[in-house]
């Protein structure tokens, strides 16, 4: 499920179970919300590599816009690695990668890294953006007309329909997809959807899901609205559902380059980062909401303590 980075080879991740819940909820003790973001022009410049582990659905944002602009603005060198958030958490806990920043698509994943029993890798995180779960369709599919005219749950369970998703064990999007299917199975009396949720035939890594849909190997697949927009994929809403990715950012314990990590977070949550997020179709959370304690003083300009 690991996406190729422009600078780092893929890493092998162990699977972790991601709770099948809407990721809009967050746990732990809540800190106060942040003030309005400061201008990125105030970010202190520095040097050295800054390793950012990020949810795979952010690959276009990170690799095409935020990473290169962060390099130019700050003097640091962005080194990105995208994968399912749960898989990244497993890497962190297993110490198979040393990283400075963790950007997740689910607050629930951060909770697996909190506390001494989990290594204390995360003590706080800030929710800064979200993106709705939608269904992307293949316009050449024989089911395309039905998908455009009927509720999704009346179509995806039809015989021969090929519905793609990511792995619920390693990716919050996959977990949300299962939630959507199971919920619709109950509310719409569609037991075939529950069967699909239990045994997906078309679970795919994030890096291949878009290609399989666009090549006609799938009739439809679950995506976040922002990544579908970046890929130019036609979408239909998940009628009857309100599921979304909630993106969070934190500096990890023992970050090799803490100053660079804070500079990245300040850039991401500052004016330029927020502009990029908006341009890619993400819904901003204003102000960013902090959960936990121990926000670095250096981030007081974008996050309250």
- For the chain, the domains span 40-131+244-299, 132-236
Of the listed ranges 12-21, 46-55, 138-147, the least confidently predicted one is: 12-21
Q: Which residues of 201-222 are buried (b: 16+ CB within 10 A; e: fewer)?
A: ebbbbbbebbebbbeebbbbbb
- Give the C-alpha separation, 222 to 236, whole Å: 10
For residue 75, pLDDT beyond 60: yes
In sequence order, what are the beta bridge partners of 104? 248
Place of tokens 């951060």: 110
- Could you give the residue ranges of the DSSP H alpha helices within the chain? 59-60, 67-74, 85-94, 107-111, 144-149, 172-187, 191-198, 206-214, 225-231, 258-269, 271-279
pTM equals 0.83
User: Looking at residues 114-139, what average pLDDT do you find?
Assistant: 97
The four Cα atoms 196, 197, 198, 201 give a dihedral, to 10 degrees, of 50
* Cα-Cα-Cα-Cα dihedral sign, residues 223, 166, 159, 187: negative
Tens digits of residue pLDDT in 247-270? 999 999 999 999 999 999 999 999
- Give the C-alpha separation, 200 to 169, whole Å: 12
User: Looking at residues 79-103, what average pLDDT do you find?
Assistant: 95
Per-residue pLDDT band for 202 (boundaries 50, 70, 90) equals low
Centroid of chain to Cα 278? 15
Q: Which of the pair, 28 or 254, is modelled with greater confidence?
A: 254
For residue 295, pLDDT beyond 50: yes
If one looks up domain 132-236 in CATH, what number appears?
3.40.190.10
- Give the C-alpha separation, 226 to 244, whole Å: 11
CATH superfamily for 40-131+244-299 is Periplasmic binding protein-like II (3.40.190.10)
For residue 201, pLDDT beyond 50: yes
User: Looking at residues 118-139, what average pLDDT do you find?
Assistant: 97
Provide the pLDDT for residue 39: 47
Percent of all residues in the chain with a pLDDT value above 90, rounded to a whole number: 75
Q: Which of the pair, 161 or 304, is modelled with greater confidence?
A: 161
- 77-83 and 49-55 beta bridge pairing: parallel
Tens digits of residue pLDDT in 270-280? 999 999 999 99
Residues 6 or more apart from 42 whose CB is under 8 A from it? 301
Q: Supply 250's token pair.
A: 């934190």
Percent of all residues in the chain with a pLDDT value above 70, rounded to a whole number: 84
**Could you tell me the CA-to-CA distances from 208 to 106, 211, 217, 223 in Å, in that order?**
21, 5, 11, 12
**H or E segment to which residue 163 belongs:** strand 163-164
User: Looking at residues 98-106, what average pLDDT do you find?
Assistant: 97
């Amino acid at each position: 499920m690991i996406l190729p980075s422009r600078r780092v080879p893929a890493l092998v991740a162990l699977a972790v179970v991601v709770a099948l819940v809407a990721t809009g909820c967050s746990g732990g003790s809540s800190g106060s919300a942040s003030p309005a973001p400061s201008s990125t022009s105030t970010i202190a410049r520095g040097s050295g590599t800054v390793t950012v582990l990020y949810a795979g659905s952010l690959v276009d944002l990170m690799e095409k816009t935020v990473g290169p602009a962060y390099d130019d603005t700050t003097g640091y060198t962005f080194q990105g690695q995208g994968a399912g958030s749960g898989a990244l958490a497993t890497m962190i806990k297993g110490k198979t990668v040393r990283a400075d920043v963790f950007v997740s698509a689910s607050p629930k994943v951060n909770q697996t890294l909190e506390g001494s029993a989990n290594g204390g890798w995360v003590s706080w995180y800030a929710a800064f953006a979200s993106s709705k779960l939608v269904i992307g369709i293949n316009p050449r599919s024989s089911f395309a007309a039905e998908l455009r005219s009927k509720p999704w749950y009346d179509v995806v369970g039809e015989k021969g329909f090929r519905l793609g998703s990511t792995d619920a064990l390693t990716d919050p999007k996959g977990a949300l997809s299962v939630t959507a299917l199971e919920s619709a199975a109950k509310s719409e009396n569609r037991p075939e959807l529950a069967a699909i949720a239990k045994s997906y035939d078309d679970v795919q890594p994030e890096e291949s899901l878009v290609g399989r849909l666009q090549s006609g190997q799938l009739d439809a697949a679950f995506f976040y609205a922002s990544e579908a927009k970046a890929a130019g994929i036609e979408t239909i809403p998940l009628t009857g559902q309100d599921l979304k990715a909630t993106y969070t950012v934190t500096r990890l314990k023992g970050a090799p380059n803490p100053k660079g990590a804070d500079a990245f977070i300040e850039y991401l949550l500052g004016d330029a980062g927020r502009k990029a997020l908006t341009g890619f179709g993400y819904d901003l959370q204003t102000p960013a909401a902090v959960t936990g304690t121990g926000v670095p003083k250096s981030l007081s300009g974008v996050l309250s303590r």
